A = this chain, B = another copy of it.
């Protein structure tokens, strides 16, 4: 690919602080027509999603009200990695805080972009097998969640039926079922 085939970032400017994000505007030259486009990028920390299995082969889910769509969803536990925190430790912490479960048998299931179009962050997917209820819940001020345990075979059917509204829960479950079949 030659230099002229690539989008070139001409300059960036800071945008407003949006609580979860900082908006940045990039001025990019289109290799197809040489025109400059102003593109928005929402900068944020990476997140984690955790597939946690109990010894009884139940998967842990959290049911919570989501402010974007204004209704409840059923999602994998997870959240935003803290500043300076390794994403593995973020996965351990978020699972413990949202479900009270911990364990030692962790496997990394890979990553997906949050939304490659306008976000710079990634979602890291972690698997915990033999998860044990060891802690009290510790919810952030903005959280009100209830825990559900669903047999793995039922989760697979729900994935296939389109029961999960959050695309990051869908992509994490795909990584998990791919991992299970190898």
Q: Chain A: residues with CB nearer than 8 A to chain B?
A: 6-7, 15-16, 18-21, 23, 25-26, 28, 30-33, 35, 37-42, 65-71, 73, 110, 112-120, 122-123, 139, 141-144, 159-162, 164-168, 170-171, 174-175, 178, 181
Contacts and interface: CB of A to CB of B under 8 A. Distances in A.
- Give how many copies assemble into the complex: 2
A116 B165 contact: yes
Nearest to A5: B144
A178 B160 contact: yes
Contact of A67 (B28, B65, B161): B28
The listed residue with most B CB atoms (<10 A of its CB), out of A38, A70, A144, is A144
A107 B160 CA distance: 17
A31 B171 contact: no
A69 B116 contact: yes
The listed residue with most B CB atoms (<10 A of its CB), out of A18, A26, A33, is A18
8 contacts: A18-B40, A30-B141, A33-B141, A37-B141, A39-B67, A68-B117, A71-B116, A160-B174
B162 A117 contact: no
A162 B110 CA distance: 8
Contacts of A19: 25, 38-40
Contacts of A117: 66-68, 166
A179 B38 CA distance: 38
Contact of A7 (B18, B33, B144): B144
A167 B171 contact: yes
Nearest to A144: B32
